[in-house]
Amino acid sequence: MSHYLCKLFLIKTYMSRYPQFNVNNEHQLIRRQNTYVLDRKLVTIHTEDRDINNWPNANHFEVELPESLANVQSMRLVEIQLPANQYVFSNNQQNTKMNFYLRPRKRIQTSIYAALAGNINNPYSITIEEGYYSPDEMANELQNLMNKAVQDFLVNDAGIDRATYTYFKVRYNKVSQQMYFGNEFDGFILPFQDRIDYDVSCSAIIGDRQPVNVWDQYTNWGLPSYLGFDKKEYIGIETSGNVLFNYDSSNVWLSPDPTYLIPSQQAYAYYIIAPKTVSLFGDSAIYMEFDKFNTIDELVPYVERTNNMYNNDYSGKVKSAFAKIPITVGGQSHQIFDSRNHFLQNVSQYHPPIDRIKKVKFKFRYHDGRLVDFKDNNFNFTIAFNQLKDEIARDYVVRVPEEYNL
């Protein structure tokens, strides 16, 4: 075989064993597959980082991230530290007011009877102090305020100097968990069918939107709802005997007072029992909204008055929240929650990934839309942003300094 033929034979043999591909055009026989690595960026946000002038309340604010985040494939609320002293009862929550009517009985104190009898068509109004109450504390607050409302009317409006009124008694039944209202002398009415309006502060208003009107709801529609009452009128039940709790029969909490009764009249006391158990701990969860990036769907609270013949305008809201945070009851100054042990184990995923995130806006509210009233207390939380980054396979030779090997 000649030298030329021998060389040609070797070339053909090599090419048959090792096929050659054209990788220099746009139509490669084997396409390169893009691979990505999930890069996690943790961002901690403190509510005091916000611009106080533009965002005066911690329940709704916007901040700018230290750097832009690109190709965000998923996000998760990792941890949040909330102040534990959110007020259950406040003007913004529209649950601090209550009215009642008095049905006075004749008494030897003629001037007091005349004043009270002339005011039977006007309600007495009370407003509890904003804050958090145990059942016994709430009972004491209501009792003191109801007596004070009548006494203030007698002194300030009727002009009866040194007039006193101490007949109202309010007690909490620890076994049935119901609230008991009583009066040792006069009849009374709780007109819980009447609406009470509130002048809500700007901390419960976002932009031009008015706050949620809780009266139209079935639950948490006002102070009486928390005390276990429905939207109806309650009239005091008359009794000539003592009223006590079965579990504490040695202590009479209500008995007729005959001290100023006209002779020959029968002494009576009057009482009303809340039909339902009290609910003084407020909402069980806070909903965190992340503007443009919510993923949780919610049903909406049923309302009594709507524009729909079926009495339910909206069945729910799509992508209404980013995270649901439980509220625990306790005496600690802060509540700490993390994604492993407490709130929903959901990761908000986005397809396709979010191109760029620089500014973030949050809102903290209850299920019915009422904003959480943090009372100027700040808090902080951490969000994990998972970014997709293009990964090109390379062999790296990495030298690890000896001091890193801990």
Shared domain check, 182 and 292: no
Q: Return the higher-pLDDT residue of 222 and 404.
A: 222
CA distances from 31 to 19, 27, 36, 170 (A): 17, 8, 16, 80
Any domain includes 302? yes
Q: Which of 273, 291, 307 is the last residue of a domain?
A: 273
Element (H, E) at 37: strand 35-46
Shared domain check, 116 and 66: no
Shared domain check, 338 and 266: no
- In the predicted model, is pLDDT for residue 344 greater than 90? no
What six digits make up the tokens of 257? 């007072």
| Contact yes or no for 160/145 (Cβ under 8 A) | no
> Which residues, in sequence order, are bridge partners of residue 207?
none
**What pLDDT sits at residue 385?**
94
Shared domain check, 290 and 229: no
**What pLDDT sits at residue 21?**
44
Q: Return the higher-pLDDT residue of 295 and 227.
A: 227
Q: From CA 258, how far away is CA 236, in angstroms rounded?
A: 18
- The pTM of this model reads 0.78
Sheet holding 178-183, edge to edge: 168-173, 178-183, 269-273, 237-239
- In the predicted model, is pLDDT for residue 311 greater than 70? no
Domains of the chain: total = 2
- Give the count of beta carbons closer than 10 Å to the beta carbon of residue 337: 21
The range of the structural domain enclosing residue 109 comes to 97-273
pLDDT digits (tens, 9 = 90+) for 34-80: 677 788 899 999 999 999 999 998 999 999 999 999 999 899 998 89
| Contact yes or no for 383/76 (Cβ under 8 A) | yes
Shared domain check, 135 and 117: yes
Any domain includes 31? no
DSSP 8-state secondary structure symbol assigned to residue 216: G
Least confident of 241-250, 251-260, 295-304, 365-374: 295-304
Q: From CA 365, how far away is CA 88, in angstroms rounded?
A: 13
pLDDT digits (tens, 9 = 90+) for 224-252: 999 999 999 999 999 999 999 999 888 89
Q: From CA 237, how far away is CA 188, in angstroms rounded?
A: 9
Q: From CA 167, how far away is CA 191, in angstroms rounded?
A: 19
Of the candidates 330, 339, 279, 284, the residue with the CA atom closest to the CA atom of residue 84: 330
Element (H, E) at 64: strand 60-83
